[in-house]
Amino acid sequence: MKKQKLILIGNGMAGVRTLEELLKLEPELYDITVFGAEPHPNYNRIMLSPVLAGEKQVDEIVLNSREWYAENGITLHTGDPVTAIDRQARQITTASGMQASYDRLLLATGSNPFMIPIPGHDLPGVVGFRDIQDVETMLDSARQYKKAVVIGGGLLGLEAANGLKKNGMDVTVVHLMDILMERQLDKPAAGLLKASLVESGLKFLMEAQTEAILGDQRVTGLRFKDGSELDTDLVVMAVGIRPNMALADAAGLHCERGIVVNDTLQTFDPRIYAVGECVQHRNNTYGLVAPLFEQAKVCANHLAQLGYGRYQGSVTSTKLKVTGIDLFSAGEFNETEGDEILVLQDPAQGVYKKLVIRDNRIKGAVMYGDTMDGSWYFQLLREATDISSFRNTILFGQHDLGDAGHGEETRVGMLSDEAEICGCNGVCKGDIVNAITTQGLFTLDEVRAHTKASASCGSCTGMVEALLASTVGEGYAATPSKKAVCGCTSYSHDEVRKAISELELKSMPELFDRLDWGTPDGCPGCRPALNFYLLAAWPAEYQDDAQSRFINERAHGNIQKDGSYSVVPRMFGGLCSADDLRAIADVADKFEVPEIKVTGGQRIDLFGVKKDQLPAVWKDLSEAGFVSGHAYGKALRTVKTCVGKNWCRFGTQDSTGLGVKLEELTWGSWMPHKFKLAVSGCPRNCAEATIKDLGVVCVDSGYELHIGGNGGIKVRVTDLLCKVESEAEVLEYTGAFIQCYREEAHYLERTAPWVERVSLNYVKQRVVEDEVGRKALYDRFKLSQKFAQVDPWKARAEGAETHEFTPLSIDRMRAAS
């Protein structure tokens, strides 16, 4: 049977969850295409706050990698939003002009942050808090500026404020109401929250109405309705969201506050479904994850043509962790006439519980500090359970008060199988216990993989771990507080590096034996890292293991999608002669290279080389005086330069000459990850030195050294390390910085996240302030380079093993040829 065409517009959590549910039911029914406006695969939007706070990296919050789409036969287009829907032709058009037809269309366009329409709301430095780009904008501002204002004292606003504070900013939260999080908390709980946040360093302006945002080229402050003003360098608006229904509305679909759908999640066009924050169902819109995932399940049921699912709305609860403080609320927690109130308050322990009761049934609940019984209260609320028989003890939770030994494990163990543990994904206790017992699960990660419990916001993690502990007893493997190198060991990267040094481990077999490695020969995840760590620690003694390198490094070429390779000979500082160009042309002719390209790093790339040709290609290039550009390696890639003062009328120094010296100093370096350098001849920065791992900007009085930059998807501007006066100092500081990075970074950790992890001040102390330490680092760097830059052809002629096409220097290679 010919497959139908299903297009998903929106690559967020609700839409992709619908696809996951559909693939479980009818994996062969549709050819599926996904269009996403953002340049990223599907990620967990709930976890943007930990990314802002530096607790997670962007790649750690990805829910479905690009490989997942490919493995499930889904075509993914990112960074290309759909701009029009032609319902008559059943066709969509994207911003790039791409057109695609559909048999069924699924809208999951989410929501947009509401930006208060006041003067100055469109100034640079005014952002929402909705996606990865917003987070990157805030992080960039935190690196350049000091003061921030967050407008909105709800959950998102407080998380944004906390993240900016952790990035060193002076943060003030401006809120229109007299209490924080008024939709989730009552006054006593909100008061406890505010006191705790003030103690942590946040400032608050309550009952403050913003009248205008001040500034010309960029935001400089706020003016309030009472005429007062507040200086700031950044404004984050976190005052709510609005369903993103513009595309649907333009296509003629019925929209009110959102895209109107029925109980099967169909719009008024039966071929078009909608789920998520863009949807209005029975006059309600939802911004929490749990209702969106319930919608996804029902929608998938109908897309799979089963037809029996119905979405009848959601009763929601909110279990949150705001800046490390546990909160829970559900139902109508602000009492009205006829309600009864049960309150437990222990200020010394930071605990507050309030239940709103009507006719001996829970109507609403608020909890602060201790939220362990939130799921139980929520179950009692949803089922309208008569609490008469245990009303006197209900505030103390669902456990036997006579047994002081009862803790979280016992309390969660006494919940009924129908009690909801993970509200985001609708996972009940019985589902988790059944998965643990039938699948033989022992770790939190295993439970997440099988049930999705705690895989979204993470607020139920403690309960899931308590269930694990109570179900499997001593077999439970608690979540480690550190990130292990891989599944073969419990040791972290730092612990492995420390052991290699202190125990003088100089081979992989010795390391596996002394550290009780879980697998006799390691795995593809740990062997490349261990190979680098051993190489960095013992450059003279350790023999580089080619089989522990990635395929590009083993083959000395960049593998391409058709299985061929690209070859990049190194051109120091981008300089070359006519003879060099003729030599490259000769190699291209001899091996019938299909394509030649000048790269962005000022090198010439030969594409389409077959794997079995690589040794011969490199032999000819080597004899012509070329060494590898390491375009494939965890090594120095290139040193990008501008022409400098020799040619440019703005140049202050010889940037090209310095670039050549830096490249001759550092090429062939073993690195935790790829490493890029650049030298700009003046502050106009034509060589883009301020987005490189190490960049040099030439100025009239010397050289500025910048570190920790990154281009690509996640752009990071460098931090200024220091300013020096001579080229010799540039070389010394560069070698010292690289060696510090090599000795302390985790394998596959670029300089940008490394600098953020250890702090700029720490790097300055090691490389700039400690003169003796800097010179020692530089000496170790030069020693390691002695063993990194070897002549492979001479070594091979003498019968030695080598895995690097990197002679000692270009002059030596030319002399040898």
Annotated binding site: 642, 648, 682, 686
Report the C-alpha gap between 355 and 377 in whole angstroms: 9
Q: Are strands 203-206 and 279-281 parallel, antiparallel or unpaired?
A: unpaired
Binding site residue list for [4Fe-4S] cluster: 642, 648, 682, 686
How far is residue 399's CA from residue 76's CA, in Å, rounded to a whole number?
49
- Alpha carbon separation from 799 to 668, 788, 794, 796 (Å, rounded): 21, 18, 9, 5
Residues 272, 86 contacting (CB under 8 angstroms):
no
Nearest C-alpha neighbor of 376 from the set 496, 463, 435, 455: 463
Find residue 94's DSSP bridge partners: 82
> Is residue 147 exposed (0-12), middle (13-18) or buried (19+ Cβ within 10 Å)?
middle
CA distance 812 to 817: 9
Please, which contacts does 219-224 make with residues 24 or more away whose CB atoms are closer than 8 Å?
219/120, 219/123, 219/124, 219/125, 219/126, 222/149, 222/174
Distance CA 459, CA 327 (A): 9
CA distance 720 to 722: 6
Count of Cβ atoms closer than 10 Å to residue 398 Cβ: 22
Residue numbers belonging to the annotated binding site for siroheme? 686
Chain position carrying tokens 């190490």: 694
Collapsing DSSP to helix, strand or coil, 535 comes out as helix
DSSP states of 410-451 = HHHHTS-TTSEEETTTTEEHHHHHHHHHHHT--BHHHHHHHH
For residue 175, report the phi and psi dihedrals to the nearest 5 degrees: -130, 140
Cα separations in angstroms, 564 against 90, 495, 607, 623: 39, 39, 8, 23
For residue 694, give the H/E element and its range: strand 694-699
CA distance 714 to 387: 53
| E runs forming strands in 325-475 | 325-331, 340-346, 351-358, 361-368, 420-422, 427-428
**Counting every residue, how long is the chain?**
817
Helix/strand/coil for 798: coil
Q: Are 345 and 188 in contact (CB under 8 A)?
A: yes
- Which one, of 26, 334, 29, 12, lies nearest residue 184 by Cα? 334
Q: Which two structure tokens, joined as six digits, stand for 737? A: 């910085």
337 SS3 class: coil
CA distances from 222 to 146, 174, 177 (A): 15, 10, 18
Beta bridge partners of 179: none
